Amino acid sequence: MPRFLIIRFSSIGDIVLTSPVVRCLKRQMPEAEIHFLTKPAFSEILQNNPYIDRVWKWVEAPASLVRELKNQRFDYVLDLHHNLRSARVKWLLGVKSYSFNKLNIEKYLYVNFRLNRLPDKHIVDRYMETVKTLGIVNDQKGLDFFISPADDFSVAGLPQSHQSGYVALVIGALKATKQLPVEKLIELCRLIKFPIVLLGGAAEKATADLIMQQSGDGVYNLCGKLRIGQSASVIQKSGVVVTHDTGLMHIAAAFHKPIISIWGNTTPEFGMYPYLPAEQDKNVQSEVKGLSCRPCSKIGFSACPKGHFRCMIDQDLRAISKQIGYLYGHF
């Protein structure tokens, strides 16, 4: 029985994007035992995955953890993070390993010189290349996210106006340059003709309160009130998801939801757009094309380096609202 250790330390979206590797490996090699190593903060999003036999949590003093991992006698390591930390784990375990190519040089050229040498390939397909030599192929069934019964969110907890359907609007992102400014979010909410549920973490709660106050009764704020699994459940029960480039975008793709993704300083060309391989008609990307300063980073900044923030200020919010109406009525 082959035993695999998959390594991906962070973050939510990146871990969700590894789920096709896990599923395809387990389904196409049923006798395999699959372990997953990640940071403690992200372990809960893997605990309910039926294709994973054990989740390991990384610790900052890893000597005892590595000893435990060695005792598992893994046959293979699939390194889907590919950094110094994962390289150390591979070296200490000393077994056959396959590593994901992060394309750091290509990303550097794209960000700093606008030379796009990145392959026209989604990151999921690049993750899948790590198991190609084992005979594992992509089943094209998309991403997985498994919600525990404890995190099942009842729409009865929403205002009555929202219980028959709503748009899930994810207002946060890792960096400010990946988010619409609050005044633009308010304008967008006023344009949307359907009930709206705002999603985000505790950091977005104050912003969400302001949006709710200035956008009318059709907006309901759940930012900072839910666990990640509960937020996923809210997304699963929504009609359309409008989101920045963030982890909940990939969770929405796992549920095959119609998605409008809004792109600021990053671009879909990095290969991390919503992964809906058989349902591209559900995947709408809103971006301001033709800006010479974009992409300015593969991650983002706390403020626009140029000061004008045109990649978000110039977003066509009316076009986004029309797309919401089209998607809401067709899926």
Domain 152-330 in the same topology as domain 3-134? yes
pLDDT at 269: 96
pLDDT at 78: 98
pLDDT at 263: 98
Distance from C-alpha of 307 to C-alpha of 293, rounded to nearest angstrom:
11
For the chain, domain boundaries:
3-134, 152-330
pLDDT above 80: residue 331:
no
pLDDT band (50, 70, 90) for residue 319: very high
CA atoms within 13 A on the CB side of 256: 7
Distance from C-alpha of 47 to C-alpha of 200, rounded to nearest angstrom:
22
Q: What is the mean pLDDT of residues 96-106?
A: 96
CB 266 within 8 A of CB 298: yes
At the topology level, CATH places domain 152-330 in Rossmann fold (3.40.50)
Residue type, 222: L
Length of the chain: 331
pLDDT above 80: residue 138:
yes
- Nearest Cα to Cα of residue 272 among 171, 173, 137: 173
Percentage of residues in the chain having pLDDT higher than 90: 96
CB 190 within 8 A of CB 324: no
pLDDT at 173: 92
pLDDT above 80: residue 201:
yes
- Nearest Cα to Cα of residue 49 among 31, 72, 79, 26: 26
- What value does the mean pLDDT of the chain take? 96
The dihedrals phi and psi of 146, each to the nearest 5 degrees, come to -115, 125
Q: What is the mean pLDDT of residues 29-47?
A: 97
What is the sign, positive or negative, of the torsion defined by CA atoms of 308, 313, 314, 315?
A: positive
pLDDT at 216: 85
pLDDT at 61: 84
Q: 114: phi > 0 → left, psi -120 to 50 → alpha, else beta; which? A: left
pLDDT at 159: 96
Q: What is the mean pLDDT of residues 9-29?
A: 97
pLDDT above 80: residue 211:
yes
CATH no., domain 3-134: 3.40.50.2000
pLDDT band (50, 70, 90) for residue 75: very high
275-317 tens-digit pLDDT: 999 898 999 999 999 999 999 999 999 999 999 999 999 999 9
Distance from C-alpha of 61 to C-alpha of 52, rounded to nearest angstrom:
25
Q: What is the mean pLDDT of residues 101-115?
A: 96
